[in-house]
């Protein structure tokens, strides 16, 4: 499998195994199939596994699959969403979450630890759920004054190799974080042909993911592309029930012209969507949301097929879906 330089962290495989699928977030799967998928990913050359405590059984499966001894060269990430607690609670909360993840995965450290919530200006007002903003968003002053020092302390303690942010939410604040002197070493950024974060954010204004990716690239920050198939919206069908007004269901309807184009090409929309994301400039590694070996095999085929041609990219972009 091809590798790319991932910011200052080193070379990584073009594909990253995401933990949501095997953790049973994206439809049903079994623990046995999750472990088999983990092992198949590593055997196929994937050397990054993207975990999170919110991915249900994902971290426990990693611990069970590898018994605390990761294959040589395999990197592990995990995440924590803290919102906006009092500043003095930031480090204890991050550390407690990390320790729980390490215990579940039977590890002593992780290579990357992400702040897994939005970062917003101190005076930002969300169009919905603003009264709960402190639960799902970290205010800029708290991020700079408490979150960054907490991550740096965890690095000094040897519990994490690097830290990153989830690049979804208020684009100006994400860009500000990527350009700051004490910038993250990695960012998870939306990488799909719709430019859509779907239900990851309460905002419905342009997400500007390509600008975020370009900013990261210009500042030496590694980019993990996420949502290549926009949680199923860029596939032939969902593997779970959704209400018609759910952001992913809305995107599925918007993507109908893409599915017709794939049909005309005789191709699988999921594979073509992954190839599109892998072709996007600045994406170092692409996180897969697969939940079983069959879905993983499709993604491996997409990576092996290489990037889409300029003509294919042009035909997709001509649909004006973003």
Question: Is the confidence at residue 26, as pLDDT, over 90?
Answer: no
Q: Which two tokens stand for residue 111?
A: 């290579």
Pick the closest to residue 166 from 140, 186, 146 (CA basis). 186
What are the tens digits of pLDDT across the range 87-128?
A: 999 999 999 999 999 999 999 999 999 999 999 999 999 999
CA-CA distance, 255 to 250, in Å (whole number)?
A: 9
What are the tens digits of pLDDT across the range 175-197?
A: 999 999 999 999 999 999 999 99
Which pLDDT score, from 0 to 100, does residue 27 have?
77
Q: Do 1 and 46 form a contact (C-beta atoms < 8 A)?
A: yes
- The pTM for the full model equals 0.96
Distant-in-sequence, close-in-space partners of 28: CB < 8 Å, separation ≥ 6: 291
Percent of the chain with pLDDT over 90: 96
Which pLDDT score, from 0 to 100, does residue 28 have?
83
Residue ranges per structural domain of the chain: 3-317
Q: Tokens 């200006």 correspond to what residue?
A: 121
Pick the closest to residue 120 from 227, 225, 202 (CA basis). 202
* Count of all residues that appear for the chain in the document: 322
What are the tens digits of pLDDT across the range 36-55?
A: 999 999 999 999 999 999 99
* C-alpha separations of 138 from 107, 141, 279 in Å: 28, 8, 32
- CATH for the 3-317 domain, from 3.30.70.1400, 3.30.450.40, 3.40.50.880, 3.20.20.100: 3.20.20.100
Which pLDDT score, from 0 to 100, does residue 204 have?
86
Pick the closest to residue 91 from 13, 184, 159, 169 (CA basis). 159
What are the tens digits of pLDDT across the range 71-80?
A: 999 999 999 9
């Amino acid at each position: 499998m091809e590798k790319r330089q991932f910011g200052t962290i080193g070379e990584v495989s073009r594909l990253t195994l995401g933990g949501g699928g095997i953790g049973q977030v994206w439809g049903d799967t079994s623990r046995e199939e999750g472990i088999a998928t983990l092992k198949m990913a590593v055997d196929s050359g994937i050397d990054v596994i993207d975990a999170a405590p919110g991915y249900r059984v994902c971290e426990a499966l990693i611990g069970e699959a590898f018994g605390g001894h990761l294959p040589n060269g395999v990197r592990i990430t995990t995440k924590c969403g803290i919102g906006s607690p009092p500043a003095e609670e930031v480090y204890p909360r991050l550390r407690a979450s990390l320790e729980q993840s390490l215990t579940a995965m039977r590890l002593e450290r992780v290579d990357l630890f992400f702040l897994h919530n939005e970062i917003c200006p101190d005076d930002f007002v969300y169009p919905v759920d603003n009264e709960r903003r402190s639960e799902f968003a970290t205010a800029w002053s708290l991020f700079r004054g408490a979150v960054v020092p907490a991550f740096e302390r965890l690095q000094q303690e040897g519990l994490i190799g690097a830290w990153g942010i989830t690049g979804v939410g208020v684009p100006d604040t994400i860009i500000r974080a990527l350009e700051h002197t004490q910038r993250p070493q990695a960012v998870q950024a939306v990488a799909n042909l719709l430019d859509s974060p779907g239900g990851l954010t309460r905002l419905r204004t342009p997400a500007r993911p390509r600008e975020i990716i370009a900013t990261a690239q210009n500042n030496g920050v590694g980019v993990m592309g996420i949502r290549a198939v926009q949680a199923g919206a860029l596939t032939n069908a969902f593997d779970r029930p959704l209400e018609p007004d759910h952001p992913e269901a809305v995107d599925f309807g918007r993507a109908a012209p893409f599915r017709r184009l794939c049909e005309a090409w005789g191709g699988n929309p999921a594979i073509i969507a992954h190839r599109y994301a892998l072709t996007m400039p600045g994406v170092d590694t692409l996180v897969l949301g697969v939940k079983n070996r069959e879905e993983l095999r499709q993604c491996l085929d997409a990576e092996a097929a290489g990037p889409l041609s300029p003509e294919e990219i042009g035909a997709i972009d001509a649909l004006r879906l973003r």
